[in-house]
Amino acid sequence: MPDIADKPHDDAPVSTWKDATAIDMATMKAIEDRGDSLTGWAVTINRTASDLYAWWRHFPNLADVMENVERIDLLDDRRSHWVVKAPGGTTVEWDAIVTDERDGEMIAWASAEDADIANSGRVTFRDAGARGTIVTATILYDPPAGMIGKLVAKLFQREPNIQVRRDLARFKQLMETGEVATNAMNPKQREEQDA
Amino acid sequence: MKALTWHGKHDVRIDNVDDPGILNPRDAIIKVTATAICGSDLHLYDGYIPTMQSGDILGHEFMGEVVETGSASTLKKGQKVVVPFTIACGSCYHCGKHQYSGCENGNPADNQDIARELYGHPMSALFGYSHMTGGYAGGQAEYVRVPFSDTGPIVIPDGVDDEKVLFLSDILPTGWMAAENAQIEPGDTVAVWGCGPVGLFAVQSAFLMGAERVIAIDHFPHRLELARKFGAETINFEQTATYDALMQMTGGIGPDAVIDSVGLEAHGMFVDNVVDQIKASTFLGTDRIHAIRQAILACRKGGRVSMPAVYGGFVDKFPLGAVMQKGLTLKTGQTHVQHYLPGLLDAIMEGKIDTTFLISHRMPLEQAPEGYRMFHDQQNEVTKIVLKPGQ
């Protein structure tokens, strides 16, 4: 294992590091170890951190902005069950557990054992003054092989952070405008797009 | 409903398509009463703009009557509105700064990746202008779904003729912003490349903003004649050594500000342009940029370069050295239409700006494919085609 202490100081977010010490740094400081693929993105949203945190913390809401997430059921205050669409009309599922949180500032989670796709991460809400709040998501995941691997590839598109970018873009749209943008002409066309 | 749809290079058709309907709370449905073919529609027609799909409905200059509203729309049925070609939410950081064409929320998330790759940031959404800019159906149709109808469309007073206000949707604010980006000071000489609608409105706007002289450059005699009517001096670039003429006309100093309203399909038999054309046709470069090169070379030291013209991709032999060595300021961008609408509507109502002179042809929507062909082939005579659905 590389020695993180040897790495010179660098302010770049850990998910943008090119070397393997990024995973060690992420799992040492912030995120439970659930894989070896690290990705992240950030958006600025013109709302208060407490508003955004409160909406996110009610996890079932996230199905409205996360593509492919069919539903999220609350099991208790810290545990939720995620059901995600997979190829061939099937689903993949996992339980997510809140591993750390600071009210209005940060939520960290990790998947429970036996998850179809092991994953962990954290989302932070940082006050950006007149611009609103900077929301940063950092995600660690373990890409599986086979059918589910194909799903993960689809989830994360060509580049791993594309899916995170899209989900955060929809979160921003909903929080700032009250709706998620669609270019469909009418309800029928939107159903066809979603299918 | 009937709509003008794109099927490939030089192939646009009138198709029967499903009517639009309300999807989001802030939507409205507009019954189009007038819509124009824009010079930038010709870039789509000529196949220069990537991410078009067969069946896409074109048109981003349109106005009409409100026929249906979502629960959060502020419009009322029966109102006459002009719709900005840029789709802006009014709520994000960029909209808050009135940089509406930087709006981050109108472009669906799935369509943002392409421009992220190409430009570093997603584009705002536009009506009827490829999937990179949202994939929204355009206004050369009988009906249009208009998102964020509480922010974009401007309500027109009763009894005002469509033709007086239609160009608020794009080309009038675009010409105005071009002149504003030229940061005109009293006594300035402004040179405008391209006397299409945007260039002609830029000529008018430059005088209103205090330019002492405006020099308009084109090769279509009819268009140069229109520029002369607004008080511009003119240069026909086919018959003139344009750079030399500009130097002599400005006493060797060069124009204080230059405006490129030509864009990525610049005409003319110049060596660099022919090379560009070969590169564009072989995809080694995408844009032909003779006009902007010449504008940059002619602009005086410390002058301003305003670029309302549309560019889509990469250019070769861009005179970046001239920009640096002469200390030029370059300002450009898609138009922040919403920002300019109230002031420009007032200027029209007060008679300070007239836009109707531009319209050379009127036709029903059904004849739109013929309109595209005419606009493409006869740019001297055809200055602007207005389509009137339902007539």
Give the separation between CA B291 and CA B313, rounded to whole angstroms: 16
Whether residue A3 is contained in a domain is answered as: no
Over the stretch B271-280, which tens digit does the pLDDT of each residue have?
555 556 655 6
Give the separation between CA B352 and CA B339, rounded to whole angstroms: 19
How many domains does chain B fold into?
2
At residue A153, does pLDDT exceed 70?
A: no
Burial of B104 from C-beta contacts in 10 A (0-12 / 13-18 / 19+): buried
User: Crossing angle of helices B112-119/A160-177, nearest 10°?
Assistant: 110
Please state, for a pLDDT cut of 90, what percent of chain B lies above it: 83
| Nearest CB partner across the interface for A181, out of B105, B113, B116 | B105
Partners of B147 on chain A (C-beta within 8 Å) are 181
Give the separation between CA B249 and CA B246, rounded to whole angstroms: 5
Buried (b) or exposed (e) across B353-371, using 16+ Cβ within 10 A?
A: bebeebbbbebebebbbeb
Q: How close B326 comes to chain A (CA, Å)?
A: 36
In chain B the first and final C-alpha atoms are separated, in Å, by 14
Nearest residue in chain B measured CA to CA from A46: B92
Residue A71 sits in which domain range?
Answer: 31-194
Q: How close A195 comes to chain B (CA, Å)?
A: 14
How many domains does chain A fold into?
1
Q: Are residues B197 and B154 in the same domain?
A: no
CATH number for the domain including A60?
3.30.530.20
Q: Mutation target for A interface from B17, B22, B73, B92: give the one with most A CBs within 10 A.
A: B92
Whether residue A150 is contained in a domain is answered as: yes
**Cβ partners under 8 Å of residue B189, min gap 6:** B211, B212, B213, B214, B215, B249, B250, B255, B256, B257
Q: Are residues B176 and B204 in the same domain?
A: yes
Q: Are residues B247 and B119 in the same domain?
A: no
| Nearest CB partner across the interface for B145, out of A167, A173, A185 | A185
Q: What is the mean pLDDT of residues B252-263?
A: 94
Residue B134 sits in which domain range?
Answer: 2-170+335-388
Boundary of a domain, candidates B312, B332, B352:
B332
B126 phi and psi, to 5 degrees?
-125, 155
Tell me which amino acid residue B120 is: G
Boundary of a domain, candidates B288, B314, B332:
B332
Q: Mark yes or no for CB contact B112/A166 under 8 Å.
A: yes
B193 phi and psi, to 5 degrees?
-90, 125
- List the one residue out of B259, B260, B261, B292 whose CA is nearest residue B190: B259
Confidence label for A1 from pLDDT (cuts 50, 70 and 90): very low
Q: Are residues B253 and B287 in the same domain?
A: yes
Partners of A67 on chain B (C-beta within 8 Å) are 109-110
Q: Mark yes or no for CB contact B113/A165 under 8 Å.
A: yes
In chain A the first and final C-alpha atoms are separated, in Å, by 45
Beta carbons of B170 and B82 less than 8 angstroms apart = no
Query: Hey, which residues does A186 pair with through a beta bridge?
Result: none
Tokens of B63: 């106005």
Q: Mark yes or no for CB contact B91/A166 under 8 Å.
A: no
Q: How close A72 comes to chain B (CA, Å)?
A: 21
Tokens of B329: 């300021």
Over the stretch B229-250, which tens digit does the pLDDT of each residue have?
999 999 999 999 999 999 999 9
Q: Are residues B302 and B322 in the same domain?
A: yes
Q: Are residues B322 and B339 in the same domain?
A: no
Partners of A176 on chain B (C-beta within 8 Å) are 89, 91-92, 105
Q: Are residues B111 and B90 in the same domain?
A: yes
Over the stretch A89-122, which tens digit does the pLDDT of each residue have?
788 899 999 999 999 999 999 999 999 889 999 9
Q: Are residues B318 and B384 in the same domain?
A: no
| Nearest CB partner across the interface for B91, out of A44, A131, A177 | A177
Partners of B136 on chain A (C-beta within 8 Å) are 183
Helix (H) or strand (E) holding B306: strand B304-307
Q: Is the dihedral of CA A29, A126, B99, B143 positive or negative?
A: positive
Q: Are residues B365 and B278 in the same domain?
A: no
Q: Mutation target for A interface from B89, B116, B144: give the one with most A CBs within 10 A.
A: B89
Partners of B25 on chain A (C-beta within 8 Å) are 178-179
State residue B264's pLDDT score.
63
Whether residue A10 is contained in a domain is answered as: no
Partners of A46 on chain B (C-beta within 8 Å) are 91-93, 96
Nearest residue in chain A measured CA to CA from B106: A181
| Nearest CB partner across the interface for A183, out of B21, B113, B135 | B135
Beta carbons of A143 and A37 less than 8 angstroms apart = yes
User: Over chain A, what is the mean pLDDT?
Assistant: 89
DSSP assignments along B53-69, one per residue: -TTEE---EEEEEEEEE
Give the separation between CA B246 and CA B299, rounded to whole angstroms: 9
Partners of B72 on chain A (C-beta within 8 Å) are 178
Whether residue A14 is contained in a domain is answered as: no
Buried (b) or exposed (e) across B145-183, using 16+ Cβ within 10 A?
A: bbbbbbbbbbebeeeeebbbbbbbbbbbbbbbbbbbbbe
Tokens of A18: 């090119």
CATH number for the domain including B295?
3.40.50.720
Whether residue A25 is contained in a domain is answered as: no
Confidence label for B315 from pLDDT (cuts 50, 70 and 90): confident
CATH number for the domain including B133?
3.90.180.10
Out of B85-99, B131-145, B203-217, B252-266, which region has the weakest mean confidence (pLDDT)? B252-266
Q: Mark yes or no for CB contact A167/B122 under 8 Å.
A: no
Nearest residue in chain A measured CA to CA from B108: A181
Whether residue A22 is contained in a domain is answered as: no
Beta carbons of B196 and B219 less than 8 angstroms apart = no
Helix (H) or strand (E) holding A107: strand A106-111
Establish how many alpha carbons lie within 13 A of residue B345's alpha carbon, considering only the half-sphere containing its beta carbon: 20
Whether residue A96 is contained in a domain is answered as: yes
Partners of B148 on chain A (C-beta within 8 Å) are 177
Nearest residue in chain A measured CA to CA from B136: A183
A and B: number of Cβ contacts within 8 A: 89
Give the separation between CA A69 and CA B267, rounded to whole angstroms: 51
Confidence label for B70 from pLDDT (cuts 50, 70 and 90): very high
Whether residue A87 is contained in a domain is answered as: yes
- List the one residue out of B80, B173, B169 whose CA is nearest residue B128: B169
| Nearest CB partner across the interface for B109, out of A166, A176, A177 | A166
Inter-CA distances, A128 with A47, A132, B168, B191, Å: 10, 5, 35, 42
Tokens of A14: 């850990």
Q: What is the mean pLDDT of residues B132-144?
A: 96
- List the one residue out of B84, B95, B67 whose CA is nearest residue B127: B84
Confidence label for B217 from pLDDT (cuts 50, 70 and 90): very high
Q: Are residues B305 and B197 in the same domain?
A: yes
